[in-house]
Every structure is written in structure tokens, then in C-alpha cells.
Amino acid sequence: MRHFLHLAYAGQPFHGWQVQPGQTSVQGCLEEAFATLLRQPTPVTGAGRTDAGVNARSMIAHLDLPDHMDASGCRQLLRSANAIVGRDIALYSLTPVAADAHARFDASEREYRYFVHTRKNPFCRQFSWQAPPALDFEAMNAAAEMLIGRRDFCSFAKTHSDVKTTVCDLRLARWVRDNEHCWHFEIAADRFLRNMVRAVVGTLVDVGRGRMAPETVLDILERHDRCAAGTSMPAEALFLWRVDYPYYHAEP
């Protein structure tokens, strides 16, 4: 029986979500834990493939469990798996879904958030980027708004990625002030390309530093050239924040 798994993880110890030979990955840790407990290979498919060091506040994955496993069995399985995967992964729930439900292909929207702080803070550095204090967030928001819409984001994607299209429907892009010294960037779309969010944030930071005008982002989109966009920002400040489905809702 197919189930959706709701989980979160700190990205720093992992070489991304996806299984890679010789590397520690979130997917690999999950598959190893469930295979040990169920005594059979148990593939786990995630809603996306976060890069090395990227965090997930809310990730959804699907896996197939034995048909005889009831709700009580799922709760016990979840407790046991939580004990195996270690402190950097938290498993929240296992929910039965339709046999053809797919964590990646059925997702209707994904949101990422990127956190920055403008004053040195030793308690933020693991999950936030220390930005220069003079960033122009008003200009950065003006540039971010221009990115919204169904567009080709090839200029913000890692080259040589195995994707059929680089077109994404970007529905939200804005900087939000949390307090005097902390901001975060919210970005939501139907799908994201590899490294896209970190490249978008790097480009907006260039706008905030006065290195380019807000409207330059439109020219970057049209050039279809990764070299035209800003640098890729550090991974530790990026979080997969939520994944939405037409038929399933995960409590944060």
C-alpha cells in the first residue's frame, strides 16, 4: 500500500536528497532504515531533489508498505525509523494514499525560503547567511516581482541538468522582514530547476548591493545564459518550506 511520508531534515550532514554512490544522502538513509525494518528493499521517492547542504522544513516522499500494515503498525514503523535515521532527520507521519499517487509528479506547488541576517549573530550562522547591512531590500523586491510568471528560467539553472524543459510557473517571490536584522526570501512555483533558488537569490543580492538595476533581471531571463545571473548562494540558509498537493495536506 502506498503511503506519503512527511519529514524534515537539516541538510548540512548530507550530500543532498538523492542517493549517490559513496555519499551520505537523505534518500539513502531513509531507504536503508525502512529496508532494515521491513526486511525488504523499500524505495523512497521525494517531492524534489534538494542539493547538498540544503534543508527541508517540510519534505514529502512516497513509499510502498506491506498491505497488511494497519495504522498501529505504521505508527510503530515511524517510531522505529525515527530511532534509526538519526537526529538530523525527523519523520512526522505516514499517510495512506492512492496506489498511483506520486510525491514528485503530483505536487501542485513548492515553496522555498532563504534566510539572511544583517548583523553578526553566532546563533544564526548555521541556517542563515550573513548579509551586508546596507542591502536595498526595496530594490530587491522590485526585481523579484519582475520574475513572477510563467517563464524560462534557464539562466538561473545549473547547466547540463537532465530536464525536458526549463520553463517554470513562478507564483511568489518576495523579501519579508522578520525583525531589525533578519529577513527571508519566499519563492513558490509549480516546479524548480537545479540550483535555481540560490541563483535567483544571488542575483537579487547583486541588485541589493547596487551592482545592477532591478529591471536587469528581465534581460538575464532573455539571455538564457547561466553566466548572466548572480552567484549561487550558500546552501545552509535555504529551506524547502512546503509542498502542496490537490488531495493531501501535511501539517508543518
> Domain boundaries in the chain?
2-105, 109-243
CA distances from 48 to 14, 104, 141, 191, 209 (A): 15, 6, 26, 9, 31
Q: Tell me whether the CATH fold assigned to 2-105 matches the one assigned to 109-243.
A: yes
Task: Give 2-105's CATH code, choosing from 1.10.220.10, 1.10.760.10, 3.30.70.580, 3.30.930.10.
Answer: 3.30.70.580
- Cite the active site residues: 51
pLDDT value at 39 more than 70:
yes
**pLDDT tens for each residue of 42-80:** 999 999 999 999 999 999 999 999 998 999 999 999 999
Which of 8-17, 51-60, 160-169 has the lowest average pLDDT?
160-169
**Spatial CA neighbour of 229 closest among 172, 115, 151:** 151
Return the percentage of the chain with pLDDT > 90, whole number. 92
Of 159 and 84, the structure prediction assigns the larger pLDDT to 84
Cell of 99: 496506489
In the CATH scheme, what is the code of domain 109-243? 3.30.70.660
The rounded distance, in Å, linking the Cα atoms of 57 and 55 is 7
Model confidence at 161, in pLDDT bands (50, 70, 90)? low
Model confidence at 130, in pLDDT bands (50, 70, 90)? very high
- Per-residue pLDDT at 185: 98
- Per-residue pLDDT at 251: 77
Model confidence at 252, in pLDDT bands (50, 70, 90)? low
- Per-residue pLDDT at 163: 81
